[in-house]
Amino acid sequence: MKIHFDNIIYSLQRAGGISTYWTELISRLLRDAHEVSFTELPHQNISRQALAIPTEYLSSNKGKRVLLNRFKTLPLAQEKAPFIFHSSYNRITRNPNARQVITIHDFVHEKFYRGLRRYLHLHQKNRAILAAEKIIVVSEHTKQDLLHFHPYLKAEQISVIYNGVSDDFYPLETLSPSSSKPYLLFIGSRAYYKNFHFAIELLQRLSNFDFYIVGSALTDQEIRLLNQKIKGRWKMFTHIDNQQLNQVYNNAYALIYPSSYEGFGIPLLEVMKTGTPFVALNKSSIPEVAGNAGILVDALDLDAFEAAIRRIEGNEATLRAIGQQQASQFSWEKCYQETLQVYHELGQ
C-alpha cells in the first residue's frame, strides 16, 4: 500500500526531536524503496537537509504561509486508491481513501500551557486523534497520558514505539576539552518545565564547573541571569550538527536534565551512547529511557542534584558501561520496523 508523509514539522522547527524522528523514518522508507510520496512546505530544517528526496516524490506548496497551512486539512485528491497517511505534526486529510496514522510525542500543551496557544494546539491535535485509525506513542508514560485525556480510545488503536538513537553518537577515543574547567551540559528547549533557571542555580553552587548550553539562541533575560549568577563560566551553542554535538557530549563531565516532563527524552539516549554520565529528574518517561543508567533524582531540589553530581566522581567507568548498555536497547531501525508493522496492520 502506498504511503504519504506530511512533512509539516520541517517548516515548524529548524531542529528538534520530532524532526529527528521523522527524518529517521523517511531515510529508511527511501532506502527500502517503499512506494511513498510527500507533502512539503518551505523550510530551513537541519534534519531535512540530510535527506535526498527525489523531486517527483514531492508535492510542494511554495510561497504559502506556514502558520496558516499547519492547520490545513489536506485534500490529496490525486490518491484514488487506499493509502497510508501519516502526518509529522497533527494534520489530517479529507481523502476518504486514507488510512490515517498519528504519532503523539507528548502532552506538554495539555499540562503546561494556557490561552490561545493551548486552544489552537488542542483543537488540531484532537481532530487528528479522532481521525486516526492507529495512534503511535513514544513511551508507556505518553500512552497513559493519552488515555487520561482521551479515555474513549481502544487499546488496539494504540502502539507504543520507542524512539531510537543515531549512530552519529559514540565515544571518542581522544577528548579535547575546550574549557579550563570541566563542564556540565544542558541541552534542548528551555521552556519553564525544563527548569533551565534551576540548572543555573545549580551551577552557581558548583563553582568548579563551567556550563555549556545547546539549543536555540538565548533571550536577553537568560543572558542577564547567566551573567548575574555564573558570569564568565557559560558558553552557548546554537544550530550545531550531530558531529559537533557528539564532541560536546563526549567532552562533558555530565549532562544535567532537570526536566519535569518528557514524552521521551532523546538527549538521554544520545549522551548514554557516548558514555558520558547524566543526572536527571525521576519524572514522566525519563525512568523508561534511563533504566538503571545515570543518576535519577526524585525531587527538583538543589541539594539533591548537587549530591548527585558529586556521586559521579570515582564511578565514571560504571556509569559509562551501564549507560551504553541501556542505550543499546533502543534503535531507529527497531522504531522503523515497528512503524511499518502499524502500516501493515492497516493495509490488511
Task: Give residue-wise pLDDT tens across range 72-109.
Answer: 899 999 999 999 999 999 999 999 999 999 999 999 99
pTM, 2 dp: 0.92
What does the pLDDT look like over 100-110, one tens digit per residue?
999 999 999 99
Q: Are 81 and 3 in contact (CB under 8 A)?
A: no
Give the Cα separation of 74 and 100 in Å (integer).
Answer: 12
What CATH number does domain 183-327 carry, 2.60.40.10, 1.10.10.60, 3.30.470.20, 3.40.50.2000? 3.40.50.2000
Q: Is 153 helix (H, G, I), strand (E, B) or coil?
A: coil
* DSSP H/E element including 213: strand 210-214
Band (pLDDT 50/70/90 cuts) for residue 70 is confident
Residue 165 confidence (pLDDT) above 70: yes
Extents of the domains making up the chain? 2-164+331-347, 183-327
Mean pLDDT along residues 286-314: 97
Residue with cell 579550563: 180
The C-alpha angle with vertex 75 and arms to 71 and 81, in degrees rounded to 5, equals: 140
On the question of a common fold for 2-164+331-347 and 183-327, the answer reads yes
Contacts of 259 (CB under 8 A, 6+ apart): 188, 193, 194, 195, 265, 280, 281, 283, 284, 286
Per CATH, which fold does 2-164+331-347 belong to?
Rossmann fold (3.40.50)
Burial class (CB in 10 A: 0-12, 13-18, 19+), 247: middle
